[in-house]
Structure 1
Amino acid sequence: MTTLVRLLGRPQIVQDGVAVGGPRGHKAWGLLAYLALAERPPSRQRLVSMLFEHAEDPRGALRWNLAEMRRALGGRVTVGRDPLTLATEHDVSIDIMGLTAPGPADVLHGELLEGLSFDDSPAFDTWLGVERRRLAADCRALAYRRSVELLTGGQPEAAALIAVQALESDRFNDDLHAVLVSSLTRSGDRAAASAHLARCADLYRRELGAEVPAAVAAAAAWAPVEPAVSAAAVRSLLDLADSSLSAGSVATGISQLRRAVAGVADTDQQLSGQARLALASALIHADGGRGGDVTTLLHQALVHAHRGGDPATGAAACRELAFLAVQAGHRSEVEHWLGLAEAWCPTEAEAARILGVRGMSLSDAGAYDEALIVLGASTDAARRCGNRRQLAWSQAMIGRVRLLRGEAAQAAHVLDEALGHIRAERWTAFTPFPQALRAEAAVAVGDAATAHELLDYAWVQTVESGDQCWVAVVAHAQATLALYEGRDALTWCRTGLAAAPWYLWPRARLIDLTARLTLGSREGAELLDELERVAGAGTMRELTVRALIHRGRVEGGQHLARARAMASDIANPALAAELTP
């Protein structure tokens, strides 16, 4: 007998294809969802405080609901004692537990525990709201990933089907529109591709007053096949591009890489994968590229890596896809791709990069203790390999964690080390990020002169590079310094928010600061709505807590109580101090 538990949409239990009665009471459904999604086993006391705090016998209510959950599933789940762990038999599946696993090319959709409300349990209700936003974003990311996998794997018809299904609930997803147009074009149905492009243009013009996204229009273009050149010529272009990028000639380097990709023979699996990986990495790290063209290049590189047995390209392509997922706030996709990267048995140098991306993701999510451990391992591996750029990158991420936790002196120390390595490597493109963080650490210890010097330098570099992520990061530091000195901070905040960074965490952090400065106004209310949406969908737990703190200051203490419940397992002394009554 097979049992499927559906928690997305109206919750139900299906046994051998037939819907059966679920547990009595909505709180048993809530328990099942919480246990299925918990990153670590929760204590009984935590569940009592979240769901049964006002019951006459709170622990008895928890026991009854756990028993009801087991009964509804025919005793085919096991729940541990304390902390509570959920284990299912092999033929029992829960839809929300399979989001990261490779499986059938279907599209998951629907709101978590749709139709159920938990107004009498505010802490659980807050958790549910956050998880609903996160899972909706995860389902969209999963649909896009599967459609691109099918497209690059030579199944454009199946890719188009997934994109069509996903667009039903996500009408303005540029990437899905682009992959649908590409899929129709590659399947040979040029008329259908043109028709969808026209419908897409009408939709964007009518609903948003905007032109069709450039990536969608480009997907309809049928590029002529370039004649292949020799492998030696392709390798020469790759070497020239590496020199151009190292010298700061980004446009020249990317042009050389595009020529390499256009000229490499598809039958040369290793070189094809390496060329596509090199172009995608250059677009990501030197040119701010994040769209569907970059994702497609990485998926193509991965296909060639599998066919050519190239673990270096395979691991690096998966790691770059994980990096893009971090920036987009899709943590389940991050773990999916990092798991695949590690499965290629990477070298120690690549392992250092993988650990760096995982540490970045953990720190975005507010898992600071875990992030410090992982980033520490990344710096150790980078030192052993002599990779000073990776060492500086991971140290900058450690400095960010220390700064967020209010450990300014420790942040300053590690950021100074990172900046030393960056200067030695002449890695100016990355400089604004650690300099902005170092300036905030200087402000925290009262050293405004150092902050001014760092930010004057970082802002010029940011403006000249046009990197929108750095605009948000440096603007936050400038606003922090302005606040310290009693100057206008809002102008800097609005300057940063006018940028459009691909990396959502710096934008969310800047929204947090701007919302704090505009509390009680219409602008502040709109910013709080955006902060809850962005932070919730991106699993940015601390920033979600900060949104609740702001709401509590405007609307009352219930939001502060919810914030305290959500922050209970975030290891941040600075946040804990802010939540102390």
Structure 2
Amino acid sequence: MTTVVRLLGPPGIARDGLAVAGPRGHKAWGLLAFLALAERPPSRQRLVSMLFERADDPRGALRWNLAEMRRALGGRVAVGRDPLTFTAEPDVSIDVMGLARTTGVLQGELLEGLSFDDSPAFDTWLGVERQRLVADCRALAYRRSVELLTGGRPEEAARVAVRALESDRLNDELHAVLVAGLTRAGDQAGANAHLARCADLYRRELGAGLPPAVAAAAVRAPAEPAASGAAVRSLLDLADASLSAGTVAAGLSQLRRAVAGVADTDEQLSGRARLALASALIHADGGRGGDVTTLLHQALVHARRGGDAAIGAAACRELAFLAVQAGHRVEVEHWLGQAEGWGPTEAENARILGVRGMNLSDAGAYDEALDALGASVDTARRCGNRRQLAWSQAMIGRVRLLRGEASQAALVLDEALHHIRADRWTAFTPFPQALRAEAAVALGDGPTARELLDYAWVQTVESGDQCWVAVVAHAQAVLALHEKRDALTWCRTGLAAAPWYLWPRARLIELAARLTLGTREGADLLDELERIAGAGTMRELTVRALIHRSRVEGARHLVRARAMAVDIANPALAAELLT
């Protein structure tokens, strides 16, 4: 007996192909959606706060609706304990849980047609989750199209891109995949026709020209004569030395020559060269576009063909890192799972744990983030990987800072900076220095904060890294507030850099919104914050947006904020929700 549950579009249940009655009451449907989509088991109190707080017997109402949900599903799901675990039998298919197996096109809105006006906290969660599902499906469609393109199936890649563009017309990356797919399939006329349509679309909708990545996708680089393996390895070694010395332009040039010259049949060297170039673009040059993603997918193809676990795990981990920065939580877990499936070395596992901790921190899962980052630190220390040790310590410092634990943040960030100086890792310095400056402000030490930020800002401007601009600008704004100077200009400076990493951008928007509450600018900033935080599952920032709304639009938003924050382990946030 097969049970199919539809939560996208008008909800319904079918058993062996025949429609059956669903659970009685819209709140049972809401419970089912919440449990099916929860990243971790929710507490009973959180569900009570979101759906049944106004009931005469809130706990009893939760139990009745859980029983009704189980009954409608023929007892084919197990729900119990506190936090509530949710397990479906193998013959139960729930559409929102199978999105990863599709091409990423939503078949309707989550719980379409159901109203939860009487449960404002759940209504807020539902709106956020609808945004997240749309964003996740866009990321999934892009991933699938690139996998097909790099796997030698350009026609299928183009078809996936066409379908995804129906609901995401201004997605540069999908347009680029479509043009590249048509070009590689030999349909140059089709590629040129789409380029013309795309140029017209961007001119009409945005008043902008054709995105460079889309135009470049129609041009196939002439085949370079293959270099010897020894020559390619020499270029890779030279690039490593150049990047270590801080000469990024020279290192990237050497890596591009290595990729252009490596024989495609040399699986190990082809994968290594593409991984090295992608990693250098990401971590040394701020590269985040489709060219970087394509390089990583190509490296993964070569790793699979050659059975190279080191390249395979690293490529998957870098794809996860990009997904963290773009706020695509489902993609992060997909790629980290793939990385772990390669049986990584202990050194690689330290990196994987670091990315997982970063992702959990962005999502507001602070206890779990500290567990992952602590394991990363321990593993990196055993391996003698000082840079990974410092990176994970900096992320721990960020969590401590966000939770209002300034003294603990200062201690771990000082240790991270010690390792960074010892390893001469200048490029990473602005991030922990900015966080350490914010900890200094929280501890009342303005002079230390100023010294740290003067140093970090010069490095940031010289590097041109957009993400560091946002991080350091936020710290500068925090210091300016402490010294009763203009903080908003710093916020605007950071936002003007348009950082690719969405979490620091959203955090900077939150501060700017707080400084402009009650103005048109403040309202626009809150709208943007809710959109970015909702799509990226940044739970604390979603709560903070609701807190700000409550100050200009009424206490009902504070009620929603408190219910949304029940499972966020942040004493600083909890204290703010009491005011």
Q: Same fold, TM exceeding 0.5?
A: yes
For 2:137, give the aligned amino acid: C
For 1:62, give the aligned amino acid: L
Which secondary structure does the structure 1 equivalent of 2:537 belong to?
coil
1:67 maps to 67
Q: CA deviation at 1:58?
A: 3.6
TM-score, normalised on structure 1? 0.97
Gaps of 5+ in 2: none
The answer on whether the counterparts of 1:107 and 1:162 sit within 8 Å (CA) in structure 2 is no
Q: CA deviation at 1:334?
A: 0.6
For 1:370, give the aligned amino acid: E
Looking at structure 2, the residues matched to 411 and 124 of structure 1 have their Cα atoms a distance apart, in angstroms, of 34
Looking at structure 2, the residues matched to 115 and 220 of structure 1 have their Cα atoms a distance apart, in angstroms, of 43
Looking at structure 2, the residues matched to 284 and 83 of structure 1 have their Cα atoms a distance apart, in angstroms, of 38
Looking at structure 2, the residues matched to 268 and 533 of structure 1 have their Cα atoms a distance apart, in angstroms, of 45
1:216 maps to 214
2:377 maps to 379
Looking at structure 2, the residues matched to 450 and 60 of structure 1 have their Cα atoms a distance apart, in angstroms, of 54
The answer on whether the counterparts of 1:329 and 1:537 sit within 8 Å (CA) in structure 2 is yes
Q: CA deviation at 1:413?
A: 1.1
Looking at structure 1, the residues matched to 83 and 398 of structure 2 have their Cα atoms a distance apart, in angstroms, of 32
Identity of paired residues, percent?
85
Q: CA deviation at 1:18?
A: 4.5
2:277 maps to 279
1:515 aligns with 2:523: no
1:93 aligns with 2:89: no
1:9 aligns with 2:19: no
The 5 A counterparts of 1:101-140 are 103-105=101-103, 107-140=105-138
Q: CA deviation at 1:46?
A: 3.3
The answer on whether the counterparts of 1:365 and 1:542 sit within 8 Å (CA) in structure 2 is yes
Q: CA deviation at 1:82?
A: 4.6
Deviation string, structure 1 residues 160-180 (Cα, Å, up to 9, x no partner): 111111111111111111111
The answer on whether the counterparts of 2:390 and 2:415 sit within 8 Å (CA) in structure 1 is yes
Which secondary structure does the structure 2 equivalent of 1:13 belong to?
strand
Deviation string, structure 1 residues 179-208 (Cα, Å, up to 9, x no partner): 111111111111111111111111111011
The answer on whether the counterparts of 1:402 and 1:411 sit within 8 Å (CA) in structure 2 is yes
For 1:184, give the aligned amino acid: L
The 5 A counterparts of 1:111-190 are 111-190=109-188
Q: CA deviation at 1:91?
A: 1.5
1:293 aligns with 2:299: no
CA separation of 1:313/1:437 partners in 2, compared to 1, >3 Å: closer, same or farther?
same
CA separation of 1:553/1:342 partners in 2, compared to 1, >3 Å: closer, same or farther?
same
Q: CA deviation at 1:107?
A: 3.0
For 1:48, give the aligned amino acid: V
For 1:263, give the aligned amino acid: G
The answer on whether the counterparts of 1:395 and 1:414 sit within 8 Å (CA) in structure 2 is yes
Looking at structure 1, the residues matched to 363 and 43 of structure 2 have their Cα atoms a distance apart, in angstroms, of 21
Q: CA deviation at 1:467?
A: 0.5
Q: CA deviation at 1:17?
A: 4.2
For 1:50, give the aligned amino acid: M
Which secondary structure does the structure 1 equivalent of 2:5 belong to?
strand
Gaps of 5+ in 1: none
Deviation string, structure 1 residues 54-90 (Cα, Å, up to 9, x no partner): 2344444334433332333233223325543322221
1:226 aligns with 2:227: no
The 5 A counterparts of 1:123-522 are 123-522=121-520
The answer on whether the counterparts of 1:36 and 1:86 sit within 8 Å (CA) in structure 2 is yes
CA RMSD for the aligned pairs? Answer: 1.5
1:38 aligns with 2:38: yes
Looking at structure 1, the residues matched to 565 and 275 of structure 2 have their Cα atoms a distance apart, in angstroms, of 39
The answer on whether the counterparts of 2:8 and 2:96 sit within 8 Å (CA) in structure 1 is yes
Q: CA deviation at 1:575?
A: 0.8
The answer on whether the counterparts of 1:99 and 1:332 sit within 8 Å (CA) in structure 2 is no
CA separation of 1:76/1:261 partners in 2, compared to 1, >3 Å: closer, same or farther?
same
Looking at structure 2, the residues matched to 12 and 455 of structure 1 have their Cα atoms a distance apart, in angstroms, of 56
CA separation of 1:77/1:271 partners in 2, compared to 1, >3 Å: closer, same or farther?
same
CA separation of 1:387/1:517 partners in 2, compared to 1, >3 Å: closer, same or farther?
same
Q: CA deviation at 1:217?
A: 0.8
The answer on whether the counterparts of 2:50 and 2:564 sit within 8 Å (CA) in structure 1 is no
CA separation of 1:46/1:399 partners in 2, compared to 1, >3 Å: closer, same or farther?
closer
Which secondary structure does the structure 1 equivalent of 2:566 belong to?
helix
CA separation of 1:251/1:569 partners in 2, compared to 1, >3 Å: closer, same or farther?
same
Looking at structure 1, the residues matched to 161 and 10 of structure 2 have their Cα atoms a distance apart, in angstroms, of 23
TM-score, normalised on structure 2? 0.97
For these two proteins, the number of residue pairs brought into alignment is: 579
For 1:25, give the aligned amino acid: G
Structure 1 range deviating more: 400-409 or 510-519: 400-409
